[in-house]
Chain A
Amino acid sequence: MRRRHPLAHLIAVRLLQSVVVWFGALIVCFVLAAAAGDPADVQTAGQLGSTPERVRALRDQLGYGDPFLQRLGHFVAHASHGDFGTSFQSSQSAFDIVMRALPSTLLLVGCALTIALASGVGLALVSVLRRERVADRAIRRFLAVAQGIPDFWLATMLVLLFSVTLQMLPSIGFDGPDGLVLPTIALAVPLLPPFVRLARGSLLDVMKLDFITSLRGKGLSERDIVVQHALRNALPPLVTFAALQVGWLIGGTIIVESIFAWPGIGNLVVEAVRARDVAVVKAVVAVVAISYIVLNLAADVLTALLDPRIRVARA
């Protein structure tokens, strides 16, 4: 029997799992829609001249008169083509609305992640080089506090300090790079503790390995060992984690976006929930789930490419 390529095998297994997760996410969307009740009732409620006949006509038009399983099949078939129905607020395709909002969310998430990653690795390096000394303890204490700061409170405090008191930066909106500063910070700070903790743990694991001892024996300074040799080996778990965080953040920016009136999908979903616009909510959940799945897949492949041991062990 011909030996399968290990990486191809890994990708195949993950793809299969992704399909299962994707299907699960679609079912969540569908249950959401089914439990939200009949959109024909919601949309015609309180409207002038909403006769039972018109409600029934709308219901048939939306496909809500069909049996349950038929509706599920119908929904999955349409959702696979990116069709989640029409937003009744704007009469546009819900999927198009979400895709239009996605770039601003991605911009925000990208900035926050870059800053969190850079400062997280920096803090972890300091923490490892000054292990059990003042700097290390200070960093760990700071993280313990940062872990407990709610993002909505941090965001409002930033607005209070920089927009209201110092009047340096705008508190809402999307015009120019100035508007990006506060939401990025509000999003990046809660990310720091897990990043630093992971980078620190990973670095300390690498520092126990034999090649570090031999580098010490060669007379390299601790700083050169950590920065030039240990760091590169400590990165793979961080890459995986960062990729997962992107998927997470795309749906996790809800609060920060709604505070800064950021025109992304987090703000969109809150507005849609308030208006009971189920089609848009479904589309947001599906888009977030699929971006998570894609990123997860990418992270796995990237990790395997970075670290041959994983490639062999998993195959």
Chain B
Amino acid sequence: MSATTTVETAAASRPARLRSARQTLRPNRSLRAGVLLLASVLVLSLVGVLALDDPNHQVLADAFAKPGARGHLLGADPLGRDVLAWCARGVWTSLEVSLAVATLAAVFGTAVGVVAGYFGGPLDALLMRLVDLSLAIPPLLLFVSLSVVLSPSRVTLILLLALVAWIPYARVVRTRILAERERPYVAAGRLAGTPDRQICIRHLVPAASTAILVLLTLQLGYVLLWEAGLSFLGLGLQPPNVSLGYMVAQGRDYLADAWWVTTIPGLVIVTLMLSFNLIGDGLRDLFQDDVAVGGADGR
């Protein structure tokens, strides 16, 4: 009898839950604005990638073409590459790198955080010292100094960024697990003979999932900035990779004659970054989960 009642309530509450989700989302203007902004950038850049020429195609006769010139809606750079085509492709490069780094970092960082928080002991102590160390060397300095050793390629860049990016996840997840493992249901699970691994994966990781999601969204933006910054310095992605930061650097010496080469890709970065921040802030409000107070960029 009681079982049927539970099933009925669950069935009845599903549309109610959907409705309440919609109601929660409605006042969350930050989340909506962010998603809308990101979606429009993505659609526009997808159209750009499909409709326009190869961004690496150089037409030297068109070098420094002004915005609105024939065939170059947003102008051309000093080597005659189309700025619009470059930006459209650059958005996707940025996203590929950011997503790869953030996913790698989230998976590895969560695993370390769970193990450190649940088992404690020497691993936990080691982790906390690593966190201290990562604070002592700013990420950009670490990236720049490690590029003494590494040759720039997309894969090394992703691994390099992930080297720093996992730490906030480990820190946040560890704190969550420390609080969560004292709850009665974990003790009950242990008494019932549930293996530690299953408790961690099935019960503790989901408990930290909203925090991880918020962190991930905010971090996408910072990883994007790191990549653009490194490429700007000439230590990140180089052609034939299409990086927004690289194009900003291309226009640096020609600011007086060709402002568009620097300004436009920079605006694209600002827009992407803004959309990630809006989504992250929105998710944070939605889950009432104040994780990433200066956590996502490692500060």
A interface list, Cβ under 8 A from B: 17, 20-21, 24-25, 28, 32, 35-37, 144-145, 147-153, 156-157, 159-160, 164, 194, 197-198, 201, 241, 244-245, 247-248, 251-252, 254-255, 258-259, 269-270, 272-274, 276, 278, 281-282, 284-285, 288-289, 292-293, 296
Distance between B12 CB and nearest chain A CB, rounded to angstroms = 37
Interchain Cβ contacts under 8 Å between A and B, 26 examples = A21-B132, A24-B136, A28-B133, A32-B145, A32-B149, A36-B148, A145-B274, A147-B273, A150-B229, A150-B269, A156-B266, A160-B263, A164-B255, A164-B259, A198-B293, A198-B294, A244-B135, A251-B137, A269-B141, A269-B144, A269-B145, A281-B148, A285-B137, A288-B136, A289-B136, A292-B135
- Residues facing A in B191-248 (CB within 8 A) are 221, 225, 228-229, 232-235, 245, 248
- Residues facing A in B118-159 (CB within 8 A) are 129-130, 132-133, 135-138, 140-142, 144-149
| A251/B141 in contact, CB under 8 A | yes
The answer to the question of B252 belonging to the interface, with a C-beta cut-off of 8 Å to chain A, is yes
Contacts A144-B277, A241-B294 known; list 6 others, CB within 8 Å: A32-B145, A144-B274, A150-B269, A152-B229, A159-B255, A252-B141
Chain B residue at smallest Cβ distance from A269: B144
Chain A residue at smallest Cβ distance from B30: A144
* A contact patch SS: helix
How many residues of B are counted as interface, with CB atoms below 8 angstroms from the partner's CB atoms? Answer: 50
| B281/A255 in contact, CB under 8 A | no
Which chain A residues border B149 with CB–CB below 8 Å?
32, 35-37
Which chain A residues border B30 with CB–CB below 8 Å?
144
Query: Given the complex of chains A and B, what is the CA–CA distance between A21 and B132 in angstroms?
Result: 6
Chain B residue at smallest Cβ distance from A147: B277
Distance between B272 CB and nearest chain A CB, rounded to angstroms = 8
Which chain B residues border A276 with CB–CB below 8 Å?
148
- Residues facing A in B242-299 (CB within 8 A) are 245, 248-249, 251-252, 255-256, 259, 262-263, 266, 269-274, 276-278, 281, 293-294, 299
Which chain A residues border B299 with CB–CB below 8 Å?
194, 244-245, 248
| B277/A252 in contact, CB under 8 A | no
Query: Given the complex of chains A and B, what is the CA–CA distance between A292 and B117 in angstroms?
Result: 27
| A156/B252 in contact, CB under 8 A | yes
Query: Given the complex of chains A and B, what is the CA–CA distance between A156 and B266 in angstroms?
Result: 10
The CB with the most chain A CB atoms within 10 A, among B144, B249, B256, is that of B144
The CB with the most chain A CB atoms within 10 A, among B141, B232, B281, B293, is that of B141
Distance between B157 CB and nearest chain A CB, rounded to angstroms = 15
Which chain B residues border A269 with CB–CB below 8 Å?
141, 144-145
Partner of B266, one of A35, A157, A252, A284: A157
Known A-B contacts A149-B270, A152-B228, A160-B263; the reply to A247 vs B148 at CB < 8 A is no
Which chain B residues border A21 with CB–CB below 8 Å?
129, 132-133, 136
The CB with the most chain B CB atoms within 10 A, among A159, A255, A272, is that of A255
Partner of B145, one of A144, A157, A197, A281: A281
Which chain A residues border B259 with CB–CB below 8 Å?
160, 164
Distance between B227 CB and nearest chain A CB, rounded to angstroms = 10
Distance between A207 CB and nearest chain B CB, rounded to angstroms = 18
Which chain A residues border B281 with CB–CB below 8 Å?
144
| A164/B256 in contact, CB under 8 A | yes
| A255/B137 in contact, CB under 8 A | no
The CB with the most chain B CB atoms within 10 A, among A37, A244, A254, A289, is that of A254
The CB with the most chain A CB atoms within 10 A, among B140, B148, B234, is that of B148
